[in-house]
Amino acid sequence: MVSELRVDVTSVLRELEVVMRVLTESRIVSRYRRIFKGRGLEFEDFREYTTSDDATRIDWMASKRANKLLIRLFKEERDINVFFMVDVSRSMLFGSTKKLKHEYAAELVTALSHFVLESGDKVGLLLFSDKVMKYVEPAKGTKHFYVMLKNLLTPDFYGGGYNLTNALDFLMNTVQDRSIVFIVSDFIGLEKDWEKIVKQSSAKFDGVAIMVRDPRDENLPAGVGQMVIADPYSEGEILIDCNDKAKRSEYERYVRNEKENIRATLKAARWDLLEVSTKEGFVSPLIRFLKRREILFR
């Protein structure tokens, strides 16, 4: 459990204005549903292409058959649910920068929630450790934004073990198909066979994993002598000499292999991945990520 969360909501909303301006100028805001695999859009018909149309909507196979350029028309399903699964376990209560991982994650989810709600869709929240700590039903509107924020900033929900399988299983049995699901976690302490539930969930959700890491999750500092490293879940400790190059290399190699396994698993399960670090803001990585999905959609 933590005593308080240092989340600068005013700063987050100010940064969000920058994000929204960039996304609006690049037309991502108006097309974000299709960027997320189009599961919130239902195909309706074809129409002949005009120069005022978005060229990314041309269906080249249908155009070839008809011998003229045709674009796809979609019927929007109005109530798309976007869920944020936020890791609130002990591992997230760590940081070597000005923001602990759970504070950074809370600010990121606050910004994304505001973005989705401004786009007119519903947002839901699941806070999890080794059990479901809080579930917030999806809803719309400004009032709901502050409901989300209040729960993200409640210290009593933070701490405990880690079980992604349990949280995903809960969500799969609770929410409807075609939902967009963001998992916000450091993905440290993954349980055995977690790959199975991630693969199963991809049949129901358009999934995006956001990996939040601190620099010390990636490498050990040089020139600081001996350091005690603690396991956030077992509370076991080990003393490491950070001046020992071999030890630092071994640690970094382990982390690289672990992250490669996570990337490969998510890719095989058709989950997208955004990696962010507490040493830098999330605005630029988020914009690059959404633009990349825009390109993939085209």
The pLDDT confidence band at residue 148, using thresholds 50, 70 and 90, is very high
Residue 282 has pLDDT above 80, yes or no: yes
pLDDT average, residue stretch 271-288: 90
Look at residue 50 in the predicted model and tell me its pLDDT. Answer: 84
Residue 112 has pLDDT above 90, yes or no: no
> Distance (Å, rounded) from C-alpha 290 to C-alpha 211?
15
pLDDT in tens, 166-191: 999 999 999 876 788 999 999 999 99
Q: Nearest 5°: CA angle at 186, between 184 and 192? A: 105
Of the two residues 295 and 96, the one the predictor is more confident about is 96
Q: Nearest 5°: CA angle at 58, between 55 and 61? A: 150
pLDDT in tens, 40-90: 455 667 888 887 676 777 888 888 888 999 887 665 545 678 999 999 999
The pTM assigned to this predicted structure is 0.80
Look at residue 29 in the predicted model and tell me its pLDDT. Answer: 54
> Distance (Å, rounded) from C-alpha 215 to C-alpha 205?
31
Query: Which domains can be identified in the chain, with CATH numbers?
Result: 9-23+81-297 (3.40.50.410), 41-76 (no CATH)
Look at residue 215 in the predicted model and tell me its pLDDT. Answer: 92
The pLDDT confidence band at residue 7, using thresholds 50, 70 and 90, is low
pLDDT average, residue stretch 13-36: 62
Pick the range with the lowest mean pLDDT from 22-31, 120-129, 211-220, 259-268. Answer: 22-31
Considering the chain, what is the average pLDDT of its residues? 83
The C-alpha torsion from 239 through 233 and 286 to 13, rounded to 10°, is -110
> Distance (Å, rounded) from C-alpha 133 to C-alpha 126?
8
Pick the range with the lowest mean pLDDT from 152-166, 202-216, 276-290. Answer: 276-290
Percent of the chain with pLDDT over 70: 80
Look at residue 136 in the predicted model and tell me its pLDDT. Answer: 96
pLDDT average, residue stretch 250-277: 93
Look at residue 32 in the predicted model and tell me its pLDDT. Answer: 56
> Distance (Å, rounded) from C-alpha 71 to C-alpha 76?
16
Of the two residues 144 and 227, the one the predictor is more confident about is 144
> Distance (Å, rounded) from C-alpha 264 to C-alpha 70?
37
Phi, psi of 233 (to 5 degrees): -105, -45
> Distance (Å, rounded) from C-alpha 80 to C-alpha 117?
11
Q: Evaluate whether 103 touches 7 at the Cβ level (below 8 Å).
A: yes
Residues making up the chain, counted from first to last: 298
Look at residue 182 in the predicted model and tell me its pLDDT. Answer: 96
User: For residue 256, which amino acid is it?
Assistant: R
Look at residue 16 in the predicted model and tell me its pLDDT. Answer: 67
pLDDT average, residue stretch 288-294: 78
> Distance (Å, rounded) from C-alpha 179 to C-alpha 68?
35
